[in-house]
Amino acid sequence: MTEEKNCLDSIRKCGILGVSRIAAQIKDASVIVHGPKGCVLPAFEASLTNPLSISYTEMCRETTVFGGEDDIAYKIRKEYFTNNPRIIVLISSCASEIIGDDIKGIIHSLDLDIPIITVEGGSFINDHISGCNTAMERLVHELGAPRDENSEIVNIIPPVEKYSGWKDDGAYLVKLLGKFGISARVLFCGVDVDDIRKYPSAALNVIIDREYGSKLAEYMNEEYGIPYISCGYPIGLEATDMFISSVLRALGRESRETDEMRNMLLDEVRQSFRNGLGRVTTFRYLEEICDKKKIIVGNYDTSEAFLRFLVKEFDDNVETVIVKAPKTDDNIDLEDRLKEISSGTNVIFTDDRAEIIDHIRNNDYDVILGSDNEYLAAHGEKTFAYINVEYPWARKIDFMPDGFAGYEGLLRFIEAYYNKIADKFDF
Protein backbone atom coordinates (compact mmCIF):
# COMPACT_ATOMS: atom_id res chain seq x y z
CA MET A 1 0.00 0.00 0.00
CA THR A 2 1.13 3.54 -0.69
CA GLU A 3 1.51 6.18 2.00
CA GLU A 4 -1.84 7.14 3.56
CA LYS A 5 -2.91 10.51 2.20
CA ASN A 6 -5.56 12.91 3.39
CA CYS A 7 -5.85 14.94 0.23
CA LEU A 8 -5.16 14.53 -3.44
CA ASP A 9 -5.20 16.27 -6.80
CA SER A 10 -7.78 13.93 -8.24
CA ILE A 11 -7.77 12.65 -11.81
CA ARG A 12 -11.45 11.81 -11.43
CA LYS A 13 -13.81 14.49 -12.65
CA CYS A 14 -17.37 14.56 -11.39
CA GLY A 15 -20.30 12.39 -12.40
CA ILE A 16 -21.89 15.17 -14.45
CA LEU A 17 -19.19 14.67 -17.08
CA GLY A 18 -19.76 10.92 -17.26
CA VAL A 19 -23.54 11.18 -17.50
CA SER A 20 -23.30 13.96 -20.09
CA ARG A 21 -20.93 11.87 -22.18
CA ILE A 22 -23.55 9.15 -22.44
CA ALA A 23 -26.31 11.66 -23.16
CA ALA A 24 -24.16 13.16 -25.91
CA GLN A 25 -24.22 9.79 -27.67
CA ILE A 26 -28.00 9.95 -28.01
CA LYS A 27 -29.33 11.89 -31.00
CA ASP A 28 -31.44 14.92 -30.06
CA ALA A 29 -30.81 14.49 -26.34
CA SER A 30 -30.78 17.43 -23.96
CA VAL A 31 -29.04 17.62 -20.62
CA ILE A 32 -30.31 19.74 -17.76
CA VAL A 33 -28.00 20.07 -14.78
CA HIS A 34 -29.88 20.70 -11.58
CA GLY A 35 -27.22 22.74 -9.89
CA PRO A 36 -25.38 26.03 -9.76
CA LYS A 37 -23.57 27.63 -12.64
CA GLY A 38 -20.20 26.00 -12.05
CA CYS A 39 -21.72 22.53 -12.36
CA VAL A 40 -22.51 23.12 -16.05
CA LEU A 41 -18.84 22.98 -16.96
CA PRO A 42 -18.57 19.16 -17.03
CA ALA A 43 -21.58 19.00 -19.35
CA PHE A 44 -19.96 21.66 -21.49
CA GLU A 45 -16.77 19.57 -21.54
CA ALA A 46 -18.76 16.57 -22.77
CA SER A 47 -20.10 18.72 -25.60
CA LEU A 48 -16.58 19.49 -26.84
CA THR A 49 -16.40 16.21 -28.70
CA ASN A 50 -20.09 15.48 -29.37
CA PRO A 51 -23.03 17.85 -29.94
CA LEU A 52 -25.20 18.24 -26.85
CA SER A 53 -27.85 20.71 -25.83
CA ILE A 54 -27.19 21.88 -22.27
CA SER A 55 -29.04 23.99 -19.76
CA TYR A 56 -29.17 24.25 -15.98
CA THR A 57 -31.50 25.27 -13.21
CA GLU A 58 -29.50 28.29 -12.02
CA MET A 59 -29.43 27.01 -8.46
CA CYS A 60 -28.66 29.70 -5.90
CA ARG A 61 -28.79 30.29 -2.17
CA GLU A 62 -32.57 30.75 -2.18
CA THR A 63 -33.08 27.49 -4.07
CA THR A 64 -30.76 25.72 -1.69
CA VAL A 65 -32.78 26.85 1.30
CA PHE A 66 -36.30 26.58 -0.11
CA GLY A 67 -35.84 23.90 -2.76
CA GLY A 68 -35.51 24.14 -6.51
CA GLU A 69 -38.38 21.97 -7.70
CA ASP A 70 -40.18 24.81 -9.51
CA ASP A 71 -36.97 25.65 -11.34
CA ILE A 72 -36.66 22.05 -12.51
CA ALA A 73 -40.17 22.07 -13.93
CA TYR A 74 -39.58 25.43 -15.61
CA LYS A 75 -36.29 24.34 -17.19
CA ILE A 76 -37.66 21.03 -18.43
CA ARG A 77 -40.63 22.72 -20.07
CA LYS A 78 -38.42 25.41 -21.54
CA GLU A 79 -36.01 22.84 -22.97
CA TYR A 80 -38.88 20.74 -24.29
CA PHE A 81 -40.55 23.60 -26.13
CA THR A 82 -37.37 25.38 -27.25
CA ASN A 83 -35.16 22.58 -28.54
CA ASN A 84 -37.63 19.78 -29.17
CA PRO A 85 -35.43 17.02 -27.70
CA ARG A 86 -36.22 13.30 -28.06
CA ILE A 87 -35.04 12.70 -24.50
CA ILE A 88 -34.00 14.82 -21.53
CA VAL A 89 -31.36 13.64 -19.09
CA LEU A 90 -31.65 15.52 -15.81
CA ILE A 91 -28.42 15.40 -13.82
CA SER A 92 -28.30 16.25 -10.15
CA SER A 93 -25.30 18.03 -8.63
CA CYS A 94 -23.73 17.85 -5.18
CA ALA A 95 -25.87 20.77 -4.01
CA SER A 96 -29.17 19.38 -5.27
CA GLU A 97 -28.37 15.92 -3.91
CA ILE A 98 -27.69 17.28 -0.43
CA ILE A 99 -30.86 19.34 -0.22
CA GLY A 100 -32.87 16.41 -1.57
CA ASP A 101 -35.21 17.95 -4.14
CA ASP A 102 -37.95 15.56 -5.22
CA ILE A 103 -36.86 15.43 -8.83
CA LYS A 104 -38.81 12.31 -9.77
CA GLY A 105 -42.04 13.71 -8.36
CA ILE A 106 -41.64 16.83 -10.48
CA ILE A 107 -40.99 14.84 -13.62
CA HIS A 108 -44.07 12.69 -13.12
CA SER A 109 -46.21 15.78 -12.68
CA LEU A 110 -45.08 17.26 -16.01
CA ASP A 111 -46.65 14.60 -18.18
CA LEU A 112 -44.51 15.21 -21.27
CA ASP A 113 -44.39 12.78 -24.19
CA ILE A 114 -40.64 12.20 -24.10
CA PRO A 115 -38.59 10.22 -21.59
CA ILE A 116 -36.96 12.26 -18.84
CA ILE A 117 -34.24 10.27 -17.10
CA THR A 118 -32.61 11.39 -13.86
CA VAL A 119 -29.06 10.43 -12.98
CA GLU A 120 -26.93 11.42 -9.99
CA GLY A 121 -23.99 13.55 -11.06
CA GLY A 122 -22.79 14.83 -7.67
CA SER A 123 -19.12 14.16 -7.14
CA PHE A 124 -19.60 12.53 -3.72
CA ILE A 125 -21.77 9.89 -5.41
CA ASN A 126 -20.33 9.50 -8.91
CA ASP A 127 -17.09 10.32 -10.68
CA HIS A 128 -16.85 10.66 -14.44
CA ILE A 129 -16.56 6.91 -14.95
CA SER A 130 -19.15 5.70 -12.46
CA GLY A 131 -21.43 8.46 -13.74
CA CYS A 132 -21.06 7.01 -17.21
CA ASN A 133 -21.86 3.52 -15.90
CA THR A 134 -24.83 4.70 -13.88
CA ALA A 135 -26.23 6.56 -16.88
CA MET A 136 -25.95 3.51 -19.15
CA GLU A 137 -27.70 1.31 -16.63
CA ARG A 138 -30.39 3.90 -15.87
CA LEU A 139 -31.19 4.51 -19.53
CA VAL A 140 -31.68 0.81 -20.25
CA HIS A 141 -33.61 0.43 -17.03
CA GLU A 142 -36.01 3.22 -17.99
CA LEU A 143 -36.24 2.65 -21.72
CA GLY A 144 -35.54 -1.04 -22.32
CA ALA A 145 -38.32 -2.97 -24.07
CA PRO A 146 -39.01 -6.66 -23.30
CA ARG A 147 -36.32 -9.01 -24.56
CA ASP A 148 -36.71 -10.87 -27.82
CA GLU A 149 -35.17 -14.16 -26.73
CA ASN A 150 -34.52 -15.19 -30.33
CA SER A 151 -32.20 -12.28 -30.93
CA GLU A 152 -28.65 -13.35 -31.72
CA ILE A 153 -27.18 -9.88 -31.52
CA VAL A 154 -24.08 -9.30 -29.42
CA ASN A 155 -23.95 -6.01 -27.50
CA ILE A 156 -20.49 -4.49 -27.22
CA ILE A 157 -20.37 -2.09 -24.27
CA PRO A 158 -17.77 0.53 -25.14
CA PRO A 159 -15.57 2.68 -22.92
CA VAL A 160 -17.33 5.88 -23.97
CA GLU A 161 -14.82 8.70 -24.57
CA LYS A 162 -11.97 6.73 -22.97
CA TYR A 163 -9.81 7.78 -25.87
CA SER A 164 -10.28 9.27 -29.31
CA GLY A 165 -10.48 5.94 -31.12
CA TRP A 166 -13.28 4.33 -29.12
CA LYS A 167 -15.93 4.74 -31.81
CA ASP A 168 -13.67 3.44 -34.56
CA ASP A 169 -12.70 0.54 -32.33
CA GLY A 170 -16.36 -0.32 -31.83
CA ALA A 171 -17.08 -0.20 -35.55
CA TYR A 172 -14.06 -2.36 -36.29
CA LEU A 173 -14.98 -4.96 -33.67
CA VAL A 174 -18.48 -5.23 -35.15
CA LYS A 175 -16.90 -5.80 -38.56
CA LEU A 176 -14.47 -8.34 -37.12
CA LEU A 177 -17.22 -10.38 -35.47
CA GLY A 178 -19.14 -10.18 -38.74
CA LYS A 179 -16.38 -12.25 -40.37
CA PHE A 180 -17.43 -15.06 -38.02
CA GLY A 181 -21.10 -14.62 -38.87
CA ILE A 182 -21.84 -12.82 -35.63
CA SER A 183 -24.15 -9.83 -35.69
CA ALA A 184 -23.00 -7.21 -33.17
CA ARG A 185 -23.70 -3.59 -32.25
CA VAL A 186 -21.93 -0.99 -30.14
CA LEU A 187 -24.09 0.44 -27.39
CA PHE A 188 -24.28 4.17 -26.69
CA CYS A 189 -22.40 5.21 -29.78
CA GLY A 190 -24.36 7.71 -31.89
CA VAL A 191 -27.71 6.08 -31.17
CA ASP A 192 -31.30 7.25 -30.91
CA VAL A 193 -33.84 6.54 -28.20
CA ASP A 194 -35.43 3.65 -30.11
CA ASP A 195 -32.05 1.92 -30.43
CA ILE A 196 -31.72 1.94 -26.65
CA ARG A 197 -35.16 0.37 -26.28
CA LYS A 198 -33.90 -2.62 -28.29
CA TYR A 199 -30.76 -3.21 -26.22
CA PRO A 200 -32.35 -5.97 -24.10
CA SER A 201 -32.93 -8.01 -27.25
CA ALA A 202 -29.49 -9.55 -27.33
CA ALA A 203 -27.78 -12.88 -26.90
CA LEU A 204 -24.71 -11.61 -25.12
CA ASN A 205 -23.19 -8.49 -23.58
CA VAL A 206 -19.45 -7.99 -24.01
CA ILE A 207 -17.49 -5.68 -21.73
CA ILE A 208 -14.25 -4.64 -23.39
CA ASP A 209 -12.89 -2.45 -20.60
CA ARG A 210 -13.34 -3.48 -16.99
CA GLU A 211 -14.08 0.11 -15.90
CA TYR A 212 -17.00 0.50 -18.26
CA GLY A 213 -20.20 -1.50 -18.46
CA SER A 214 -20.19 -3.98 -15.56
CA LYS A 215 -23.13 -2.24 -13.94
CA LEU A 216 -25.15 -2.37 -17.14
CA ALA A 217 -24.18 -5.96 -17.92
CA GLU A 218 -25.11 -7.12 -14.41
CA TYR A 219 -28.41 -5.29 -14.56
CA MET A 220 -29.27 -6.81 -17.95
CA ASN A 221 -28.25 -10.20 -16.68
CA GLU A 222 -30.56 -9.96 -13.66
CA GLU A 223 -33.45 -8.24 -15.41
CA TYR A 224 -33.38 -9.90 -18.82
CA GLY A 225 -31.22 -12.97 -18.31
CA ILE A 226 -28.62 -11.85 -20.82
CA PRO A 227 -25.25 -13.44 -20.12
CA TYR A 228 -22.13 -11.31 -20.27
CA ILE A 229 -18.40 -11.71 -20.60
CA SER A 230 -15.56 -9.34 -19.81
CA CYS A 231 -12.55 -9.26 -22.12
CA GLY A 232 -9.43 -7.17 -21.94
CA TYR A 233 -9.32 -4.22 -24.32
CA PRO A 234 -8.58 -5.83 -27.72
CA ILE A 235 -5.33 -4.10 -28.61
CA GLY A 236 -2.59 -6.43 -29.82
CA LEU A 237 -2.67 -9.85 -31.43
CA GLU A 238 -3.35 -11.94 -28.36
CA ALA A 239 -5.95 -9.57 -26.90
CA THR A 240 -7.83 -9.34 -30.20
CA ASP A 241 -7.74 -13.09 -30.71
CA MET A 242 -8.91 -13.57 -27.12
CA PHE A 243 -11.78 -11.17 -27.74
CA ILE A 244 -12.94 -13.19 -30.74
CA SER A 245 -12.52 -16.56 -29.08
CA SER A 246 -14.27 -15.40 -25.89
CA VAL A 247 -17.30 -14.23 -27.84
CA LEU A 248 -17.38 -17.43 -29.90
CA ARG A 249 -17.10 -19.55 -26.75
CA ALA A 250 -19.84 -17.64 -24.96
CA LEU A 251 -22.13 -18.13 -27.94
CA GLY A 252 -21.15 -21.79 -28.27
CA ARG A 253 -19.93 -21.20 -31.81
CA GLU A 254 -16.32 -22.30 -31.59
CA SER A 255 -15.43 -24.73 -34.34
CA ARG A 256 -12.57 -25.84 -36.54
CA GLU A 257 -13.70 -23.30 -39.14
CA THR A 258 -13.61 -20.42 -36.67
CA ASP A 259 -10.18 -21.55 -35.46
CA GLU A 260 -8.95 -21.50 -39.05
CA MET A 261 -10.44 -18.08 -39.59
CA ARG A 262 -8.78 -16.76 -36.42
CA ASN A 263 -5.41 -18.10 -37.54
CA MET A 264 -5.90 -16.68 -40.99
CA LEU A 265 -6.61 -13.22 -39.59
CA LEU A 266 -3.49 -13.41 -37.43
CA ASP A 267 -1.43 -14.42 -40.45
CA GLU A 268 -2.90 -11.59 -42.49
CA VAL A 269 -1.98 -8.92 -39.99
CA ARG A 270 1.56 -10.29 -39.61
CA GLN A 271 1.87 -10.31 -43.39
CA SER A 272 0.66 -6.71 -43.63
CA PHE A 273 3.17 -5.74 -40.96
CA ARG A 274 6.06 -7.40 -42.79
CA ASN A 275 4.99 -5.92 -46.11
CA GLY A 276 4.83 -2.49 -44.52
CA LEU A 277 8.36 -2.78 -43.18
CA GLY A 278 9.60 -3.42 -46.71
CA ARG A 279 12.18 -5.74 -48.13
CA VAL A 280 15.22 -4.47 -46.21
CA THR A 281 14.21 -4.35 -42.56
CA THR A 282 17.80 -3.81 -41.42
CA PHE A 283 17.34 -0.09 -41.87
CA ARG A 284 14.20 0.10 -39.79
CA TYR A 285 14.75 1.63 -36.35
CA LEU A 286 13.28 -1.18 -34.30
CA GLU A 287 16.38 -1.71 -32.17
CA GLU A 288 16.83 2.01 -31.60
CA ILE A 289 13.21 2.36 -30.55
CA CYS A 290 13.66 -0.53 -28.15
CA ASP A 291 16.48 1.39 -26.43
CA LYS A 292 14.26 4.36 -25.69
CA LYS A 293 12.87 4.87 -22.19
CA LYS A 294 9.10 4.45 -22.23
CA ILE A 295 6.13 4.97 -19.96
CA ILE A 296 2.47 4.01 -20.36
CA VAL A 297 -0.08 6.02 -18.37
CA GLY A 298 -3.68 4.93 -18.59
CA ASN A 299 -6.47 3.01 -16.98
CA TYR A 300 -5.82 -0.66 -16.25
CA ASP A 301 -7.07 -2.14 -19.50
CA THR A 302 -5.27 0.41 -21.65
CA SER A 303 -2.05 -0.13 -19.74
CA GLU A 304 -2.26 -3.91 -19.87
CA ALA A 305 -3.09 -3.98 -23.58
CA PHE A 306 -0.23 -1.74 -24.68
CA LEU A 307 2.24 -3.34 -22.27
CA ARG A 308 1.38 -6.80 -23.55
CA PHE A 309 1.66 -5.79 -27.16
CA LEU A 310 4.90 -3.86 -26.85
CA VAL A 311 6.73 -6.33 -24.63
CA LYS A 312 5.33 -9.69 -25.71
CA GLU A 313 4.48 -9.09 -29.36
CA PHE A 314 6.70 -6.23 -30.56
CA ASP A 315 9.93 -7.25 -28.75
CA ASP A 316 10.08 -3.83 -27.14
CA ASN A 317 10.38 -2.80 -23.50
CA VAL A 318 8.56 -0.44 -21.17
CA GLU A 319 10.25 1.16 -18.17
CA THR A 320 7.13 2.21 -16.25
CA VAL A 321 3.39 1.73 -16.25
CA ILE A 322 1.20 4.11 -14.26
CA VAL A 323 -2.32 2.77 -13.79
CA LYS A 324 -4.73 5.62 -13.09
CA ALA A 325 -6.48 3.99 -10.15
CA PRO A 326 -5.93 4.08 -6.40
CA LYS A 327 -3.75 1.35 -5.03
CA THR A 328 -5.97 -0.85 -2.93
CA ASP A 329 -5.86 -4.42 -1.73
CA ASP A 330 -8.29 -5.26 -4.56
CA ASN A 331 -5.74 -4.15 -7.12
CA ILE A 332 -2.86 -6.35 -5.97
CA ASP A 333 -3.75 -9.11 -8.43
CA LEU A 334 -3.85 -6.55 -11.23
CA GLU A 335 -0.36 -5.42 -10.36
CA ASP A 336 0.78 -9.05 -10.38
CA ARG A 337 -0.73 -9.53 -13.82
CA LEU A 338 1.21 -6.58 -15.20
CA LYS A 339 4.39 -7.94 -13.59
CA GLU A 340 3.72 -11.30 -15.23
CA ILE A 341 3.67 -9.59 -18.62
CA SER A 342 6.86 -7.65 -17.95
CA SER A 343 8.72 -8.35 -14.72
CA GLY A 344 11.19 -5.53 -15.35
CA THR A 345 8.55 -2.85 -15.64
CA ASN A 346 7.99 -0.49 -12.74
CA VAL A 347 4.24 -0.52 -11.92
CA ILE A 348 2.55 2.36 -10.09
CA PHE A 349 -1.12 2.63 -9.16
CA THR A 350 -2.34 6.12 -8.33
CA ASP A 351 -5.35 8.38 -8.81
CA ASP A 352 -3.37 11.42 -7.74
CA ARG A 353 -2.62 13.73 -10.63
CA ALA A 354 0.15 15.36 -8.62
CA GLU A 355 1.93 12.05 -8.22
CA ILE A 356 1.73 11.36 -11.96
CA ILE A 357 3.03 14.83 -12.84
CA ASP A 358 5.87 14.58 -10.32
CA HIS A 359 6.89 11.17 -11.59
CA ILE A 360 6.98 12.28 -15.23
CA ARG A 361 8.82 15.49 -14.43
CA ASN A 362 11.43 13.65 -12.39
CA ASN A 363 12.07 10.87 -14.91
CA ASP A 364 13.19 11.73 -18.39
CA TYR A 365 11.08 9.52 -20.61
CA ASP A 366 11.74 9.38 -24.32
CA VAL A 367 8.35 7.96 -25.19
CA ILE A 368 5.03 8.65 -23.45
CA LEU A 369 1.85 6.73 -24.14
CA GLY A 370 -0.81 8.64 -22.25
CA SER A 371 -3.08 11.67 -22.36
CA ASP A 372 -2.49 15.36 -22.98
CA ASN A 373 -2.08 15.72 -19.22
CA GLU A 374 1.05 13.59 -19.33
CA TYR A 375 2.22 15.45 -22.42
CA LEU A 376 1.92 18.74 -20.53
CA ALA A 377 3.70 17.33 -17.50
CA ALA A 378 6.66 16.31 -19.65
CA HIS A 379 6.60 19.38 -21.88
CA GLY A 380 9.76 21.39 -21.54
CA GLU A 381 13.27 21.25 -22.86
CA LYS A 382 13.66 17.52 -23.32
CA THR A 383 12.64 15.82 -26.53
CA PHE A 384 10.08 13.06 -26.24
CA ALA A 385 7.63 11.28 -28.48
CA TYR A 386 4.00 11.30 -27.42
CA ILE A 387 1.32 8.88 -28.51
CA ASN A 388 -2.16 9.68 -27.26
CA VAL A 389 -4.02 6.69 -25.83
CA GLU A 390 -6.27 8.38 -23.24
CA TYR A 391 -8.61 11.32 -22.75
CA PRO A 392 -7.93 14.22 -23.16
CA TRP A 393 -6.63 14.18 -26.75
CA ALA A 394 -7.07 17.77 -27.86
CA ARG A 395 -3.52 18.15 -29.17
CA LYS A 396 -4.35 16.22 -32.32
CA ILE A 397 -7.06 16.11 -34.94
CA ASP A 398 -8.35 13.01 -36.66
CA PHE A 399 -10.46 12.90 -39.77
CA MET A 400 -9.70 9.30 -40.66
CA PRO A 401 -10.32 6.26 -38.43
CA ASP A 402 -7.83 6.31 -35.57
CA GLY A 403 -8.73 3.46 -33.22
CA PHE A 404 -6.02 1.07 -32.12
CA ALA A 405 -8.17 -2.00 -31.40
CA GLY A 406 -8.30 -5.14 -33.49
CA TYR A 407 -5.92 -6.03 -36.28
CA GLU A 408 -6.43 -2.94 -38.43
CA GLY A 409 -6.12 -0.75 -35.37
CA LEU A 410 -2.93 -2.48 -34.33
CA LEU A 411 -1.26 -1.60 -37.63
CA ARG A 412 -2.43 2.00 -37.13
CA PHE A 413 -0.91 2.00 -33.67
CA ILE A 414 2.41 0.65 -34.92
CA GLU A 415 2.47 3.36 -37.60
CA ALA A 416 1.80 6.11 -35.07
CA TYR A 417 4.23 4.67 -32.53
CA TYR A 418 7.10 4.08 -34.96
CA ASN A 419 6.70 7.30 -36.95
CA LYS A 420 6.36 9.58 -33.94
CA ILE A 421 9.46 8.14 -32.28
CA ALA A 422 11.46 8.16 -35.52
CA ASP A 423 10.45 11.79 -36.15
CA LYS A 424 11.59 12.89 -32.72
CA PHE A 425 14.97 11.22 -32.52
CA ASP A 426 18.00 11.41 -34.75
CA PHE A 427 18.73 7.70 -35.17
Partner 1 sequence: MGLKKTVKLSALVSAVEKNLIDIGECIDMHQFCAFWGAYDVFSYFDDLVLLVHGTAGCTANRHFLTSMGQMDNCDKKIHHTTDMKENDIIFGGEQKFMDSLEEVMKKNPDKNVVVLTNCCTDIIGDDVEGCIESLPDEDRKRVIFMNTGGYSGKTYRDGTENAFRLLAEKLYSFGRSKDREQKGSVNLFTRRWLWDPTKKKEIDEIKRDLGLIGLKMNEVFDHGFNMESLEKMSEADVNVSLCPFYSRGFFDQLRTLGGIDYVDSSAPIGLEATMRWLEDIARKLSMDISYIYENEEISELFRMRYELRKKIGSGRKCVIWNQTGDRLLSLVKLASELGMEPVIVGIELSTMREKFHIFKKEVCEGGVEAAVYPSKYIDEIRELVNELDDPVIFCNDNFFSGKKVFKYRFAHNPVYGLNGARSIFTALNETLDTPMNNYSIFLEK
The residues that touch partner 1, with contacts defined as CB under 8 A, are: 5-17, 35-42, 44-45, 48, 54-56, 58-64, 78, 93-95, 98-99, 122-125, 127, 353-354, 357-358, 372-373, 376-377, 379, 391-392, 394-395
Cβ neighbours, 10 Å, residue 406? 25
Choose between 124 and 427: whose C-beta lies nearer to partner 1: 124
- Round to whole Å and give the CA distance between 415 and 418: 5
> What single string gives the DSSP state of each residue in 45-93?
HHTTTS--EEEE----HHHHHH--HHHHHHHHHHHHHHH--SEEEEEE-
Least Å distance between CB 124 and partner 1?
5
Choose between 56 and 365: whose C-beta lies nearer to partner 1: 56
Please give the helix or strand (H or E) that residue 370 lies within, else none: strand 367-370
Bridge pairing between strands 116-120 and 87-92: parallel
Choose between 152 and 351: whose C-beta lies nearer to partner 1: 351
Listed residue (99, 142, 98, 147) closest to 119, CA to CA: 142
Choose between 4 and 111: whose C-beta lies nearer to partner 1: 4
Least Å distance between CB 378 and partner 1?
11
Least Å distance between CB 130 and partner 1?
11
φ/ψ (deg, to 5) at 227: -70, 160
Cβ proximity of 247 and 204 under 8 Å: yes
Least Å distance between CB 47 and partner 1?
9
Least Å distance between CB 122 and partner 1?
7
Choose between 10 and 151: whose C-beta lies nearer to partner 1: 10
> What single string gives the DSSP state of each residue in 113-151?
SS-EEEEE--TTT-BHHHHHHHHHHHHHHHHPPPP-TT-
Choose between 115 and 370: whose C-beta lies nearer to partner 1: 370
Least Å distance between CB 193 and partner 1?
24
